Amino acid sequence: MANRETTQREADSLLDVERTFKERVAYAGRFLWRDRSGVIGLILFLVVVGAAVFAVHISPYDPLEQNLRENKMPPFWSAEGSWDHPFGTDNLGRDSFSRIVYGARVSLTVGFFGVLIAGTLGMVIGAVSGYAGGRIDAATMSLINLILSLPYLLFVVFIASILGRSLLNVVLIFGITDSPIFARVTRGEVLRMRESGYVESAISAGARWPRIIFDHILPNLIGPLITLATFEMSAMIFYEAGLGFLGLSVPPTIPSWGNMLAAGRKYLQQYPWIAAFPGLAIMFTSLGMNLLGDWLRDVLDPRLRRARK
Amino acid sequence: MSIALKEALVQRYFLSKVIQSIVLLFGVLLLVFVMVRITGDPAALMMPREASQEHVEAFREKMGFNDPVMVQFGRFISGAIVGDFGNSLHFKTPAMPLVLQRLPATVQLALAGLVMAVVVGVPLGLVGGFNPGSLVDSLGRFLALLGQSVPNFWLALILILYFAVRLRWFPSFGRDELKSVVLPAFVMGLPVMGQIVRLTRSAVLEIRGEDFIRTAHSKGLEPRTIYTKHVLRNVAIPLVSVIGVQFGYMLGGSIYIEIIFSWPGMGQLLEQAIGWRDFPLVQALAVFTSLVVLGLNLLTDMAYAVIDPRIRYG
């Protein structure tokens, strides 16, 4: 019990403006180490990022190289499998492991830039709405709440089927359709801050606009938004693979987890590993980012921790 | 507050919700209309790539794509109001009845998934909430995390492989017998179950710490009475809301599951319609699904306002 209270105090002190950046990072690190699922999440996330960045060095084969003589080879533990192709090969004899490694690039690109666009758009909309208040705020928010209540997957599939297959289209679709959720969170935070004493006292002390925004509002927005961004990135990676499965994401020439799933679907009964490995890759990435998000929420927003117990 | 005033407030709350839903439905119609035209040439979008110039031209004239946009929009809206989205390009029959034909299968799948999620999720959440840290609690939280992280299309493939192909317990596709629904409903219900476990657990934890529970204990009420009368009733409030929203989500999000299990519902029809470039059918599907989901959300809001009086005066 005492231990939990100490942790609580440390978490509180993370928000303390008096601490230097270095101290805060040190606290966050110690906090992370105590939360084992957070460590697992971070490791999984770093593995995926590492795969995407060093894909050229990690993958033993060219992900596009076809070798029809070695097609549909089983993974290494099977009797006919070998360490030459640890995850086996697909119907065209392409090395599954190399394709998974390269697939991380597509997933992370979609997740990162999708969240960047959604976050920027949402922050602007939410901040304006929250600051303007009154009718503008009421109208924006009821629109956003209603948009969020629509069948999301259906519209993403609908829009993707019209725009056609390209990486840019996928990023734009997710970036735009996902912005309402960022707007809602930003607006909630801005409203709370407007009511809080410190912004008021900063204004009465004569602080000008830039100072209030950059010193008081932005630092407090970053925590909740980074947490949200982690969860949304995980969701986008998930949805991108789903679009790929329907043949609506990046062109089939680009190795992506969704495209691999779509290709493996036909051979499921005899050669299940072709679809199983990309599915596992999506699952571990998603799991890692959800664990990381849970941890970030606890670290960056101690209020939630108190409420959750 | 007088009863008449209360009733007036409730009516005003419901009326504003209804108006909001109608406005959004109009927005959906506008979006669906604009999206089909966003590439500039809807005729090219809907015709096969190898279609000849004359064919495309004749099609454009027949569909009225040569008329001014406002005329086209007026025609689209006045048709949509009476449920007329034109003929499906593939079946050459009106699109809306084709969508309605697929509704029962989708509703059956979503209901089966929801029942599974509630029947398993609520007890797990309750036990977890009353005994945090126990074995059942860990199991519930693990299942919740699993439901959140496992891609449903992947889980569907694995289940087919194991339970249908290898063990032959269930058919791997179609909707010919009653047990066909088991595997797809499980895949559909797992993420919802996870959410219900989490929500029930945290609601129980929160309500157990409330002052009125302590009061109930201190005035000597039986723990059993406290649990059923005070705790469970309050847990029901957020549950109703989540169940309503999730049911709508399941009706609109069953695309992958229906495709993989060849389940003859609206999601499967959507994939086929996209493959055929049958956009009148796609439009009818998008609008109808939105209508169903918005209607469900409206019902949920109303149920919520009835159960929890704090909402309607907000």
Burial class, B107, CB count within 10 angstroms (exposed 0-12 / middle 13-18 / buried 19+): middle
Smallest Cα distance from A285 to chain B, Å: 9
Rounded to the nearest 10°, the torsion over CA A281, A282, A287, A288 is 60
Mean pLDDT of the region B113-118: 94
Q: Does B76 touch chain A (CB under 8 A)?
A: no
Residue A6 domain flag: no
Residue A261 domain flag: yes
Query: Chain B contacts of A157, Cβ < 8 Å?
Result: 255, 270, 274
- Of all residues in chain A, the one with the smallest CA distance to B145 is A287
CATH 1.10.3720.10 fits B96-274, yes or no: yes
Share of chain B above pLDDT 90, in %: 17
Residue A269 domain flag: yes
Identity of the residue in A150, A307, A308 whose CB atom sits nearest the CB atom of B293? A150
C-beta of residue A284 within 8 angstroms of C-beta of residue A46: no
| pLDDT number for residue A308 | 39
A171-183: burial string, b at 16+ Cβ within 10 Å, e else: bbbbbebbbbbbb
C-beta of residue A278 within 8 angstroms of C-beta of residue A237: no
Residue A154 and residue B289: Cβ atoms within 8 Å? yes
C-beta of residue B184 within 8 angstroms of C-beta of residue B172: no
What contacts A86, CB < 8 A, 6 or more positions away? A75, A76, A97
Interface TM-score (ipTM) > 0.85: no
Number of domains in chain A: 1
- Of all residues in chain B, the one with the smallest CA distance to A271 is B161
Q: Does B151 touch chain A (CB under 8 A)?
A: yes
Mutate to test the interface with B, among A143, A162, A240, A308 (most CBs of B within 10 A): A162
C-beta of residue B138 within 8 angstroms of C-beta of residue B201: no
| The two structure tokens encoding residue A51 | 């795969």
Q: Comparing A17-31, B72-86, B272-286, which segment has the lowest mean pLDDT?
A: A17-31
- Of all residues in chain A, the one with the smallest CA distance to B271 is A246
Length of chain B: 314
Residue A301 domain flag: yes
Closest among A238, A254, A72, A292 to B147, alpha carbons compared: A238
pLDDT digits (tens, 9 = 90+) for A48-74: 999 888 888 888 888 887 777 777 777
Residue A265 domain flag: yes
Write down the H helix ranges in B160-265. Answer: 182-208, 211-218, 223-225, 233-252, 255-260
Handedness of CA A36, A37, A40, A46 (dihedral sign): negative
> How far apart are the C-alpha atoms of A35 and A293, rounded to whole Å?
12
Low-confidence ranges of chain A (pLDDT < 70): 1-21, 24, 27-28, 31-35, 301-309
| pLDDT number for residue A307 | 42
Residue A88 domain flag: yes
Q: Does B103 touch chain A (CB under 8 A)?
A: no
> How far apart are the C-alpha atoms of B118 and B121, rounded to whole Å?
5
pLDDT digits (tens, 9 = 90+) for A178-232: 999 999 998 888 888 877 777 788 888 888 877 777 777 777 888 888 889 999 9
> How far apart are the C-alpha atoms of B286 and B99, rounded to whole Å?
10
What value does the mean pLDDT of chain B take? Answer: 84
Domain boundaries, chain B: 96-274
Smallest Cα distance from B116 to chain A, Å: 21
Residue A266 domain flag: yes
Instruction: Print the domain residue range for A88.
Output: 35-308
Mean pLDDT of the region B153-169: 81
Smallest Cα distance from A259 to chain B, Å: 13
Residue A239 domain flag: yes
C-beta of residue A13 within 8 angstroms of C-beta of residue A26: no
| pLDDT number for residue A9 | 52
Smallest Cα distance from A279 to chain B, Å: 5
Share of chain B above pLDDT 70, in %: 97
For position A263, which CATH number holds?
Answer: 1.10.3720.10
